Amino acid sequence: MGTVKVAGHNLPHESAQVRARLGVVSHMPLLYPDLTAEENLQFYARMYGLTDYQSRITEVLEMVGLESRRKDLVRTFSRGMQQRLAIGRAILHDPEVVLFDEPYTGLDQDASEMLDEVLRSVAAKGRTVVMTSHDLARAEDLATRFDILSRGVIAASATQEELKNTNLLAFYKQSLEIKN
């Protein structure tokens, strides 16, 4: 069957070590609505074992554009603001691997550009970013490798270098034609 390793740790036997090295943005924000933005990040900072985390929380809130709303309850946030905070939560502990499932959901143009910068920043630190996206133009600009999923399996893979003579949309369409 095979094995799954994340940041050098085997699943499921070392799941606690994997969770400590993983940041996740899923379809649901997974935030506590009756806590403030700051309290949510404090909770997760403690859960991840961060010490002296207040300056990191400020840095993350500034990065995602929510510094001015740090004392506001999350239930008062729009969907896009909750998504921003979820992104902040995912990178708070500087994880080795970050999983983004449709992270642009609910984000306006400014917030989408903020996310682009966050993704570039995380990748520049040598971190692994895995992202699912239907926004091919954004993915093409940000990714170094592309896997096309069709019916739950990888239909085709290519690196940015391999696609230099075509565009991602053409590769996507071609991949689905071959699969079907």
Per the CB < 8 A criterion, the answer to whether 107 and 79 are in contact is: no
Tell me the angle at which helices 79-91 and 54-63 cross, rounded to the nearest 10 degrees: 130
* C-alpha closest to that of 103 among 122, 121, 94, 90: 90
* C-alpha closest to that of 19 among 53, 51, 49, 39: 49
Q: Record the pTM.
A: 0.88
Q: Domain extents for the chain?
A: 4-143, 144-180
**pLDDT tens, position by position, 131-154:** 998 888 888 888 999 999 888 889
Q: Please report the beta strands in 20-160, taking only residues with DSSP state E, as ranges in sequence order.
A: 22-25, 97-101, 128-132, 145-150, 153-159
Omega of the bond leading into 12 within 30 degrees of 0 (cis):
yes
* C-alpha closest to that of 131 among 121, 142, 71: 142
Residue 1: predicted pLDDT: 67
Does domain 4-143 sit in CATH 1.10.10.2840?
A: no
Report percent pLDDT > 90 for the chain: 65
Residue 80 neighbours by CB under 8 Å, 6+ apart: 106, 107, 108, 111
Per-residue pLDDT of the chain (180 residues; tens, 9 = 90+): 678 888 889 998 999 899 889 999 998 899 999 999 999 999 999 999 999 999 999 999 999 999 999 999 999 999 999 999 999 999 999 999 999 999 998 889 999 999 999 999 999 999 999 999 888 888 888 899 999 988 888 999 999 899 888 888 889 888 888 655
Amino acid 7 reads A
Give the Cα separation of 126 and 145 in Å (integer). 15
**pLDDT tens, position by position, 49-78:** 999 999 999 999 999 999 999 999 999 999
